[in-house]
Structure 1
Amino acid sequence: MDVTEVLLPGVGLRYEFTSRRGERVGVVARRTGDFELVVYGAEDPDEGRSVLQLDSEEADAVAEILGAPRIAERFADLTKEVPGLVAGQVEVRPGSTYDGRPLGATRARSRTGASVVAVVRGEEVIASPTPRDVLAGGDVLVVIGTHEGIAGVEQIIRG
């Protein structure tokens, strides 16, 4: 799907695409951090009808809801494309050595060669976590690497 980006001077950016049903949809990302979902009518392609307005926190919530399943799909697709690369999940158990500590404290990538590419915390997904992101009991780490690398991450997290 092609998404076009249009600069709106003084306002922000508008991202547009055409849905499978032929509807032109736009998302206006305002400089203020707010977002607006717009649908354009077939009769006048320049006239957009505002469907939804979101503040940055609401937009983040919608992105997480819509993005979480897609992130898992993309990682699964990635592992199909690269022989020897697999995706795995490792749970941080409450009371674990790393419960309440930053991801970087595990040194998982340098010790195993496997990468933690996301942290799933309840309904929230932290994609591309940084070494400073603090882990919590109940988190599920999405790990990409070899079978041995993922097992190594699991061993590190479980102690």
Structure 2
Amino acid sequence: MTTRSTKLPGVGTQYDISTRAGRRVSVVAHQDGRRFLAFYTPDDPDACQATVPLDPDEAGSLAKILEPGEAQTPGLGTCGLDIDLVTVRIPLTGHSPYSGEVLGETKARTRTGASIVAVLRRTGPVPSPTPDFRLETGDVLVAVGTKEGVDELTRIISGT
């Protein structure tokens, strides 16, 4: 296992971890306390599969869970909800009515309950895109929601 840190001026620090199995995971620690986890494909260690934004509380909870030797993590429990969430990738083709439009125009969460949590673009991933983020043909939207919600969002984005 190897680790490497890289200062990101004005942002924070990126920590790269290469596991013994050859997988690569990164954590970008922003100066304001936010964290982003990034996962990379084993066959192309530079291709980001997905990113997960974490606020300071979420990052702290994850750190407690990952700490070796912890049989039970104090303060963490079940919330009593049994919700099956799925993550999908939705390609944005030239046939989409949202190609060239801002993300907010999709009204994804309002219409489907699903959230667009990242946009994968050829130039790199964009975690937590804002409503004014302009979509382009070739983007891949990463959405999280119920199966029904992401299916409906896929239909809406594809324009079918």
Bin for the TM-score computed over the shorter chain: 0.5 to 0.7
Question: Unaligned 5+ residue runs, structure 1?
Answer: 1-19, 38-62, 75-81
Q: Which residue of 1 aligns with 2:133?
A: 133
* 1:94 to partner: Cα distance: 1.3
Q: Deviations over 1:80-128 (max 9, x none)?
A: xx74011011111114211100010010111100000000112411100
Could you tell me how far apart the structure 1 residues matched to 2:100 and 2:138 are?
11
Q: Is this contact kept in 2: 1:64–1:125, CA < 8 A?
A: no
- Taking structure 1 as reference, are residues 115 and 29 closer, same or farther at Cα in structure 2, changes over 3 Å only? closer
Q: Is this contact kept in 2: 1:64–1:124, CA < 8 A?
A: no
The one-letter amino acid paired with 1:96 is S
1:69 to 46, 49, 67: 49
Could you tell me how far apart the structure 2 residues matched to 1:90 and 1:30 are?
32
Q: Which residue of 2 aligns with 1:155?
A: 155
Report 1:12-27 matches (<5 A): 20=1, 27=6
Report 1:1-150 matches (<5 A): 20=1, 27-30=6-9, 68-69=48-49, 71=51, 83-150=83-150
Q: Is this contact kept in 1: 2:39–2:51, CA < 8 A?
A: no
Secondary structure of the residue that 1:71 maps to in structure 2?
strand
Question: Unaligned 5+ residue runs, structure 2?
Answer: 16-37, 41-45, 55-81
Could you tell me how far apart the structure 1 residues matched to 2:134 and 2:39 are?
19
Could you tell me how far apart the structure 2 residues matched to 1:120 and 1:97 are?
18
Larger gyration radius, structure 1 or structure 2: 1
* 1:67 to partner: Cα distance: 8.1
Could you tell me how far apart the structure 2 residues matched to 1:157 and 1:29 are?
34
The percentage of counterpart residues that share the same residue type is 36
Q: TM-score, normalised by structure 2?
A: 0.53
- RMSD, matched Cα: 3.5
Higher helix proportion (structure 1 or 2): 1
- Equivalenced residue count is 104
